[in-house]
Structure 1
Amino acid sequence: MAIAITVAVGTPGYMPSEQISGNPDLRSDIYAVGIVAIQALTGIPPEQLPKDVNNEIVWRNQAQISQELTSILDRMVRYDFRQRYESAEQVLQALQQLSANSTFPPTILPQPTRHSLPWKWIIPLFALTATITGVSIFRPLLSPPPPAPIELSSYEDSEVKIKLKYPETWNREDLKNPITGEWVKFSPKQSTTKTSQEQVTITIENFSGTLEDSKNKFIDNIKNFQNGQIISSNSTTLAYRPAYQLIYTVKDGDNNLKNWRIWTLKGDKTYIIVYTAAIDDYDKFVKTTEKMIQSFKID
């Protein structure tokens, strides 16, 4: 069972955007199981399922199941992982509640009603429950234990109307550079004997184009001016707005750096967050950076 789950979670089409970008979350497993269920119900491979303008999967018209189960599966496969169930236990509770609301005569096959599932979907429902239970049980064996909670401080700038939470053990440097657009920089506190490249920078630039235009601009700049290499690129959300993200490497003198750039547009401004670290140290603070990005707000 553990091997099958590992393959399903890591297979293209079953991976959500945060997993593709190298930042998996426990809720990535919930997405994968939801995709398996939708494929079982529709018979359509995940890569062939259409998506709407918000990158949400469109599948309801391909399966005849109850509205209640549809809503559960929709929440499991939300594009923004923060909108999914937070744990396998929550999914199980929702399914158990749904099952408790379904009543069946002892000697005949039940007919669909407003409060019950069609009988032919009971087996997929049980299979879905068993799969989620397997993910919940085996995930701790497949992954290292979670890090200790990070204590966060609040940053707010009323001039540009942005908010962010960052580790209270990190340094903050207010840049407010009108030429480069670099507004504020956060970096881990290091001893005087250690050189490190880890930092998170927020940049605000004037921009009048579309999100697609900004993506093309950044990719062109990375490839042609920084001599960088794009590792991955995909759409996402930032401050609850449509956004894009790039993961790429560049060489800065003798240093090989890995970067995670995520940005969104509002009005005529581009709001950019860039996490930079030496390639070997990139994973050290990527989860911390993820929490910072999740807390970012534009008022």
Structure 2
Amino acid sequence: MSKLVVISLGQRDIKTGFPYVTAQVWSNSGLPSVKFTGKLPIDQEIFHLYRRWQGLYTAAYQRLGLRRAAIRIEENDLTNFSEVEFNQICQELQQRINVWLNSENFRSIERHLRSQLNVADEVQVVIEVDDDLGQRIPWQLWDFFRDYRNAEIALSPSDYQYVESSKPRRKKIRILAILGDAAGIDIQTDREILEALPKAETVFLVKPQRRELDRWLWDERGWDILFFAGHSQTEAETGRMYINSTESLTIPQLSYALTKAIERGLQLAIFNSCDGLGLARQLAHLHIPQMIVMREPVPDRIAQEFLKNFLTIFSRGKSLYASVREAREQLQGLESEYPCASWLPIIFQNPATEPMTWIKKKSTNRRIGVLAAAVMTIAALLATPAIINKVREFNTFSLYKDAEIAMKYPKEWQLSRGGMGRERARFISPEEYESDFLEQVSLTIELLELPNMSLQAYTDQTVAQISKGLADSNGVSIYKTTLANHEASRIVYTRRGQPDIEVSQIWTLKDNQAYIITYTAKKEKLAELEQVIQEMIRSFRIE
């Protein structure tokens, strides 16, 4: 089960401290289930340790073919470089980061997170921070990630918003790959990795002129992934990429074309180049869903190994966050030659959007697909009560039950069990077609914010939150109904930015808890599955 944790540090910095830190855990219904507050103190030592580490890191990597146009290092760092000292600085920085995060006023946030999350959960941890140092420190060294092996870190600016975009159904992922200035480095390997991808259509722009790059970004078919390999760097707060041997560009110089590409479905930008934080900050202003960049200058081999491992894992169906963590941790095996390689890759996430997923493979369950097609054909031709009853025989049900709730679900649907609190279970329909949207039903239990909260008050609050952030301009339809023999509310809305997806939720309240059933489906499938869903809802019981 996937969870989203957003930790907002505000618009301060490490040298002056973060006096108001908030952490929210987002439930699978799309609503924040809990919120905590805390503080992070001033820590000048992290600032000095990081700057010393950065100088020694750059000196150590100067000889390894970095993907950066120019490297400026202090002469003392180069002449006085010591591997022993560098390793010691690495250890001290890791220890100091954990001392800082274990401070009394932040430790309460971590305790709350641990109480809300199961160690088996896949957790997206997004740190909202605008401070340069706050974005550069290796947050993945936090002891929390040692215990939560399915969690991965991402960064976000404090300001972000959801952008309406089209998401055309494709048989292949569309990738626009920019192979820029490669003086002194090898980016041919990057091309070979992209060419080997399954279910991908890649357009390569080799050392393009600005006009050519701009024209391809405006392509009416849209792109799923934007990729750049070559030299890049961050100058002050500005990221710059070198698209050929004579031209370099910043994100603002491509802002109109990039904005249109995002509106046409661009979901992920990968900058497999040096020091990509400046590029990520600028592109974040355009509200792209996700980016993957390198925090610091990166040698060829590390850039290529990460790209190969990430795309291999991601294209096989793992989530973006799980793929980045696994590919990043695989770099540790090279750290005897390339110190701190696993510290470099980082996700930039727009928290208002969901992470990208790769196109799924065609279902291999041919027997179910053929049987379902045959039954639907007969039903369509004859449509008699006897035939309808025969169809229902194939919809045999299993029983989900835990200490508090029980509900029937179709045997052929996949059951995904949750942890204690919030989402308890998710039932996912079998895949029928390549790139098919999987209809699903989830069961969630949420504690009420106020004791003895009325059904009307809970409904008003929930509808207001959904209308603000999740529903499209048509709003939310509300109905009165019953659930498990209790008075209940039912709402229906279309997802913002996904006009073909309808969400229906029904909830009732008991003992200061909300019991919620959420059904998500493509509109074209609603009539087909209506009887199955109604049978599931009728079977729901509160123990």
Q: Please classify the TM superposition score into its range, dividing by the shorter chain length.
A: 0.3 to 0.5
TM-score where L is the length of structure 2: 0.27
Greater relative contact order (Cα 8 A, min sep 6): structure 1 or 2?
Answer: 1
TM-score where L is the length of structure 1: 0.47
Larger Rg: 2
